[in-house]
């Protein structure tokens, strides 16, 4: 009865015929649920978009602050370096002035020519008066020197020595302070990493002369051609230089093709160069005497391994020799 009354009231209010079947109720509830779900989804998408926007703004702000800090540190370091250069120039100028003053003082304190050089040799004294005459001569010379050096000169000399000591102490203190500032600048400035060095070294390494890359970029073909009038030594040296530009992985590929055991960059380069030269000029070419490798070759092997790990082996090399 209540259900029928509710149905009648709804029909009067909505001016439509109402249905109380279970199918109609289920469809209505499903429609309401879909609307609610769509509303929640839109709100969640808007919230996510707002969060991503704030995160992007925060990252951009942090990047700007980082760039400003780097620029500030570099500017401060450059300013300190300029100050150090100016201080160094001032110290050099002061040292030159002091050196000139010392030279002038030394030149002023020298005895005159009249006190040093005698115009005529002294008369030979008697045998009993030799010692007394020598003592009198020494006293006379010292008296002449004392007369030439006046009190003003002695005072000036003492003041100059005192100034030199003070300037020397100040220069030592400034030098220690400059060393501390230089050490601080060295600590603040970060060195380049090995990865960048090896990447630049690997990118700057040129391929073999006469090498042509195929469409796929997997295979490089190089031909060692004997020039007109070229001797064995010149050809061997040129082939060795060209092979020395290869990477370690590429050298191993050539070793596998020629059935040669890879030892090191220098030994393997010499061995392959001898093989290719003997192939062109005949087997009469004497084999090189290969000595022990030094530490530089071992370091180059390590550098080549690191470059291979970073940038890959770089493809295969097939070497053909012809006249």
> Closest Cα to residue 105, out of 169, 166, 165, 158?
158
| Mean pLDDT in residue range 262-273 | 84
Q: Domain check: are 244 and 185 in the same one?
A: no
Tokens of 37: 């779900």
pLDDT tens for each residue of 55-74: 999 999 999 999 998 888 88
Looking at residue 116, its pLDDT comes to 52
Residues 6+ apart with CB under 8 A from 14: none
Domain with 172, as residue range(s), is 20-114+136-190
Alpha helices, H only, 189-264: 194-204, 232-243, 248-258
In tens, the pLDDT along 138-190 reads: 555 555 445 556 777 788 888 888 888 898 888 988 888 888 888 877 665 55
Q: How far apart are the first and last CA of the chain?
A: 114
Q: What's the total number of domains in the chain?
A: 2
- 22-51: pLDDT as tens digits: 666 677 788 888 888 899 999 999 999 999
For residue 119, being part of any structural domain is answered with: no
Q: Is residue 13 situated within a structural domain?
A: no
| Position 239 pLDDT exceeds 70 | yes
Give the C-alpha separation, 210 to 78, whole Å. Answer: 47
Whether the pTM exceeds 0.85: the reply is no
Q: pLDDT class for 209, splitting at 50, 70, 90? A: very low
220 and 165 assigned to the same domain: no
Same-domain pairing of 144 and 217: no
Q: Give whole-number Cα distances, 20 to 5, 13, 26, 100, in Å.
A: 12, 16, 10, 119
Same domain, 59 and 181: yes
206 and 184 in a common domain: no
Boundary-marking domain end, from 173, 190, 207: 190
Q: Are residues 173 and 210 in the same domain?
A: no
Q: Is residue 3 situated within a structural domain?
A: no
Q: Answer yes or no: do 224 and 168 share one domain.
A: no
Is the same domain home to 186 and 206? no
Helix axes 295-311, 265-281, angle to 10 degrees: 90
Say yes or no: 148 and 227 in one domain.
Answer: no
184 and 202 part of one domain: no
Residues 110 and 215 in one domain: no
Tell me, yes or no, whether 105 and 238 share the same domain.
Answer: no
Choosing from 190, 212, 235, the residue where a domain stops is 190
The residue with greater pLDDT, 47 or 120, is 47
């Amino acid at each position: 009865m209540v259900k029928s009354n509710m149905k009648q009231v709804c029909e009067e209010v909505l001016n439509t015929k109402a249905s109380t079947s279970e199918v109609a109720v289920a469809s209505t509830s499903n429609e309401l649920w879909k609307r609610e779900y769509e509303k929640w989804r839109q709100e969640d998408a808007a919230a996510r978009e707002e969060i991503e926007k704030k995160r992007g703004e925060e990252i951009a702000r942090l990047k700007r602050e980082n760039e400003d800090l780097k620029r500030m540190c570099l500017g401060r370091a450059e300013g300190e370096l300029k100050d150090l250069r100016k201080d160094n120039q001032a110290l050099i100028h002061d040292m030159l002035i002091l050196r000139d003053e010392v030279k002038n003082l030394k030149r002023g304190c020298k005895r005159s020519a009249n006190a040093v050089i005698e115009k005529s040799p002294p008369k030979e004294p008697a045998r009993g008066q030799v010692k007394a005459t020598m003592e009198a001569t020494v006293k006379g010379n010292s008296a002449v020197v004392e007369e030439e050096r006046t009190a003003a000169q002695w005072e000036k000399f003492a003041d100059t020595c005192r100034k030199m000591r003070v300037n020397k102490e100040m220069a030592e203190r400034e030098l220690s302070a400059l060393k501390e500032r230089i050490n601080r600048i060295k600590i603040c400035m970060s060195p380049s990493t090995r990865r960048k060095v090896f990447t630049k070294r690997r990118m700057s390494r040129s391929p073999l002369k006469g090498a042509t890359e195929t469409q796929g970029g997997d295979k490089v073909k190089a031909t060692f051609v004997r020039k007109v009038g070229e001797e064995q030594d010149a050809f061997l040296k040129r082939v060795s230089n060209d092979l020395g530009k290869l990477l370690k992985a590429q050298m191993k590929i050539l070793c596998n093709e020629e059935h040669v055991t890879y030892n090191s960059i220098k030994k393997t380069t010499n061995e392959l160069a001898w093989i290719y030269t003997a192939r062109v000029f005949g087997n009469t070419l004497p084999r090189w005497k290969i000595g022990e490798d030094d530490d530089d070759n071992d370091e180059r092997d390590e550098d080549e391994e690191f470059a291979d790990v970073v940038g890959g082996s770089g493809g295969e090399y097939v070497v053909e020799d012809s006249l």
